Every structure is written in C-alpha cells, then in structure tokens.
Amino acid sequence: MSLGDPALQTPGDTAQCCPSLVEAPLDDAEADELATIFAALADPVRCKLVSLIAAAGEACACDLVDPVRKSQPTVSHHTKVLAEAGLIRGERRGRWVWWSVVPERLAAVCSALTRATPD
C-alpha cells in the first residue's frame, strides 16, 4: 500500500473550503487547519513544485526532480505534503505519476484570506 492510498486521490474529507482568516476569531481547530494548509506552501521547493505543475497543466513526477535540484525522495516527500493539504492531486499512469493542481483548493485558500476584509 504505497502508491495507491494516502496522497494520490484527493482526500474525501478535505473540504475545498476553509475557515476565513479575517471574518471572526478562529478557534483552535480552525487555526490548526489553516496553518497546515499554509505550512504546505511555506517551503521554497514546494512553491516551485506548485508553480511547475500549474504552469505545465500537469507534470510527471520524473520531470520535477531536475528543476528543483533535490533528490527523488525529497521531491516525493514534498509532493506528499502538498497532496495531503489538498493543493495538488496525483494520478498513476503506468509507471509514472502525473501531478496537477487543484484550482478550487487554491481558490478556497484565497477566499479565506480576503473574505470580509475591509478595504
């Protein structure tokens, strides 16, 4: 149970929406949830991976190792973190895994940042 289970499909219980950062004070659980999502983006290698995948539409994992100049296990670790945050999604095709962004998830994070912000 290595490739199939944890990160490849979008987790069923991960709502696309997330609590608003600016509407009302967060409780502990909401703060943890938001912090986890932001933590997934709080690494330059992972930012690069998202940008590579987003710019290409989708990207094979084997094409991500060279651009970020990290080892294959390191890249695999980072894609797992991003996938568990619901930001990217992987699909197995033969021996390869193709990654794509989850635009609704990115939009939900965006919404959490600005909802009810007084301009």
Partner DNA sequence: TGCCAACATTGACGGATGTCGATATGGCAC
Partner DNA sequence: GTGCCATATCGACATCCGTCAATGTTGGCA
- Integer angstrom CA distances of residue 30 from 21, 25, 83, 104: 9, 9, 19, 19
Q: Does 78 sit near a second copy (CB under 8 A)?
A: no
Quote the CA–CA distance of 115 and 97 in Å, as a whole number.
Answer: 35
Q: Which of 6, 9, 17, 67 binds a second copy (CB under 8 A)?
A: 67
Stretch of 9-17, 18-26, 86-94, 107-115 lying at the interface with DNA (CB under 7 A): 86-94
Q: Which of 8, 16, 48, 63 binds a second copy (CB under 8 A)?
A: 48
By C-beta, is 7 or 88 nearer to a second copy? 88
Q: Which of 4, 5, 13, 25 binds a second copy (CB under 8 A)?
A: 25
Beta strands across the sheet bearing 58-60: 58-60, 96-101, 88-93
